[in-house]
Amino acid sequence: MADPAKAKRPFLTSFGAALGLIAVLPLMATTPALAQNAPPPPVSVAKPVVKPIVERDDFIGRFDAVDTVDLRSRVSGYLDKVNFSDGAVVKAGDLLFTIDQRPYKAALDDAQAAVASAQAGVDFSTGDLERADALIKSGNITGQIADQRRQSALAARATLDRAKAALVRAKLDMEFTEIRAPMAGRISRRLVSVGNLINANDTLLTTMVSLDPIQFYFDADERSFLDYLSDLIPGRNTGKGSSRDVTVALTGETQPTHKGHIDFVDIRLDQASGTMRGRAVFDNKDLSLTPGLFGRISIAGSKSYQGILVPDEALGTDQDRRIIYVVGADNKVTTRVVRTGPRIDGYRVIRDGLKGDETIVVNGLMRVRPGIEVQPKMTELPLSREPAGG
């Protein structure tokens, strides 16, 4: 015999499902109505910043000294004195090292004595020759004797010339015992201590570099070279008007502050990296720029033109395209596909897609979509969003 309770269960289940459907239907019917009656979402809008700009390209590079010198002695001897402090800034001609001068002083004295002796020989032979010339006219001596005295006078002059040359060499050697700075700049540490034997043209004593001006080397990509760096090569001016003036920012600086100019572009692209090496020169009066420092050089990549700038947060993405939401006169939103450029003054350059007089959504992009109506709250964008004094 069937259980009456079990027989009622299918009926109760169907009845419960019907009641649930009846309860949900009114809610489903009212949801579109609520959506239609919801107020338009508030968004912040603004006009794009329109002002004259110059696009700039940045490249990483390193400072290097214009001149670098490895100091070696021109004479051999024992190091007698070191006349500088390690790492000091020196002027051209400053005395840096002194080689023991006593052997070279003795050689100099000997050369001076040799010159005096040779000069005495010249004086004697010259007088002897003059007497022979006078006697040969009267026939008191033979021509052979006169020729011998003339040969002696010529040999004495040659001996004097050789002695003078030895004296010049002795003076040079004496001068070379004092090693002086060949230029103004900063000197490295001493590599040899006092008392060590110095071999001429071999022993490295120290190294020094020039500081003012200072050079900056950087590598630019092939596109940048074709765009404007090739204009800086002599004989290849294409009339694009590229400027040689550049600025550079050191590590930790947000904006480039050091001003210089490009003075050299290499003769060929590097085949391995596809880059072209360039060089800029900067004044360094305060000696704040040190060889080896990294920097970011900024080069003008265009002429001045009227640019359209928008905040990065105003840009949306539609698959692989960048878009901007534009609010019309009826407060309805439409999209514009734009082509972006570099960042300037804290904004993104819009190369194509905007005229500059549109009203765009700058805040609240998550609440908008094409075709909906919004509550625009107008704001004004500053001309620059970079920190003051940066």
pLDDT digits (tens, 9 = 90+) for 369-378: 898 999 999 9
In this structure, are residues 344 and 53 in contact, taking their beta carbons and an 8 Å threshold? yes
Q: By three-state DSSP, how is residue 103 classified?
A: helix
Across 62-80, average pLDDT: 95
The amino acid present at 358, given as its one-letter code, is E
Residues 321 and 370 grouped into a single domain: yes
Q: What band does 248 get if pLDDT is binned at 50, 70 and 90?
A: very high
From 265, 300, 335, the end of a domain falls on 300
Cβ density class 244-274: b for 16+ within 10 Å, e for less = eebbbbbeeeeebebebebeebbeebeeeee
93-97, 200-204, 225-229, 275-279: segment of lowest average pLDDT: 225-229
Q: With bands split at pLDDT 50, 70 and 90, how would you rate the model's confidence at 241?
A: very low
47 and 135 belong to one structural domain? no
Please tell me which residue, 385 or 321, carries the higher pLDDT value: 321
Choose the final residue of a domain: 300, 315, 342: 300
- The answer to whether 381 and 49 have CB atoms below 8 angstroms apart is yes
Sequence-ordered strand ranges (E) for 112-203? 178-180, 185-187, 197-198
Whether residue 74 has pLDDT greater than 50:
yes
Edge-first strand order for the sheet with 204-209 is 68-72, 204-209, 185-187, 89-90
pLDDT in the model for residue 80: 95
The residues with which 197 forms a beta bridge, in sequence order, are: 78
H/E stretch holding 245 reads strand 245-250
Query: 110 and 164 share a domain?
Result: yes
Instruction: Read off the pLDDT of each residue in 194-219 and give the average, rounded to a whole number.
Output: 94
Out of 300, 324, 343, pick the residue that ends a domain: 300
In a domain, 26, yes or no: no
Same structural domain for residues 134 and 232?
Answer: no
With bands split at pLDDT 50, 70 and 90, how would you rate the model's confidence at 235?
low
Q: Which of 88-97, 124-133, 216-225, 344-353 has the lowest mean pLDDT?
A: 124-133
List Cβ<8 Å contacts ≥24 apart for 117-124: 117/163, 118/156, 118/159, 118/160, 118/162, 118/163, 118/164, 119/160, 121/156, 121/159, 121/160, 122/153, 122/156, 122/157, 122/159, 122/160, 124/156
* Structural domain harbouring 138: 102-176
pLDDT at 245 over 70: yes
Q: Is the pLDDT of residue 12 over 60?
A: no
Question: Cβ distance 272 to 219 under 8 Å?
Answer: no
Q: Is residue 91 part of a domain?
A: yes
Question: What is the rounded CA–CA span in Å between residue 152 and residue 215?
Answer: 62
Same domain, yes or no, for 189 and 259? no
The answer, yes or no, to whether the previous bond of 213 is cis (omega within 30 of 0) is: yes
Q: Do 360 and 258 fall into the same domain?
A: no
pLDDT digits (tens, 9 = 90+) for 346-379: 899 998 999 999 999 999 888 888 989 999 999 9
Sequence-distant (≥ 6) Cβ neighbours of residue 99 within 8 angstroms: 73, 75, 76, 77, 78, 79, 80, 176, 177, 178, 179, 198
- The answer as to whether 32 is a domain residue is no
Say what the pTM is: 0.67
Query: Do residues 84 and 184 both lie within one domain?
Result: yes
* CA distance linking residue 265 with residue 219, whole number of Å: 10
Q: In sequence order, which residues have a C-beta less than 8 Å from that of residue 357 and are 6 or more positions away?
A: 47
Give the list of residues 6+ apart from residue 378 with CB closer than 8 angstroms, or none.
45, 46, 359
CATH number for the domain harbouring residue 202: 2.40.50.100
Within a domain: residue 9? no
Residue 27 lies in a domain: no
Q: Are residues 236 and 322 in the same domain?
A: no
Residues 294 and 219 grouped into a single domain: yes
User: Looking at the structure, do residues 235 and 123 belong to the same domain, yes or no?
Assistant: no
What element of type H or E holds 136? Answer: helix 102-138
Number of domains in the chain: 4
Confidence check: pLDDT of 268 > 80: yes
